[in-house]
Amino acid sequence: MTAWADALELITRVPGIRGAMVVSAADGVVVAESLMDELKGNAVAALAASLTGRIGRATDGAGRGAPRFLQLQATGGTLLVAPHGPDLLIVAVAERTVNAGLARLEMFRAAERVA
């Protein structure tokens, strides 16, 4: 749990990141979180897992494989998801102005730190 907490802290240091968490891909349950209190972490985790699963079935069905990274862009911000193996998702909520490329790299690095 400490390893994930440290890894999530690296992600939340990226300017524009409001919160981050680790989610179980199978059931959308929060495994670890950072700064997600005001962001309805449990509900977001479930929806992020469901959306990633649905998109993953589409990319898999298209013969492109499972997603490595997913970004849900909205008018008021963005949700970033980096699957970590088949079982976990690293999820971050960010402002619209976030450097998504940097956030993506930090999410990958976070996964490498815990692997």
Q: How many other C-beta atoms lie within 10 A of the C-beta of residue 53?
A: 17
Query: Which range binds another protein by CB under 8 A, 8-16, 27-35, 73-81?
Result: 73-81
- Choosing from 1, 2, 37, 65, the residue that interacts with another protein (CB under 8 A) is 65
Amino acid letter, 94: A
CB-wise, 2 or 38, nearer to another protein? Answer: 38
Binding mask 87-106 for another protein (x = CB under 8 A): ------x-------------
Does position 78 interact with another protein (CB under 8 A)? The reply is yes
End-to-end, the C-alpha distance of the chain in Å comes to 13
Site for another protein in 30-49 (CB under 8 A): 39-40, 43-44, 47-48
Q: Judged by CB, which is closer to another protein: 32, or 48? A: 48
Give CA–CA dist 46/62, Å, rounded: 24
Q: How far apart are CA 28 and CA 46, in angstroms?
A: 4
Say whether residue 86 binds another protein (CB under 8 A). no
SS3 40: coil
Burial category of 99 from C-beta neighbours within 10 Å (exposed 0-12, middle 13-18, buried 19 and up): middle
Binding site for another protein (CB under 8 A): 39-40, 43-44, 47-48, 50-51, 54-55, 57-59, 61-79, 93
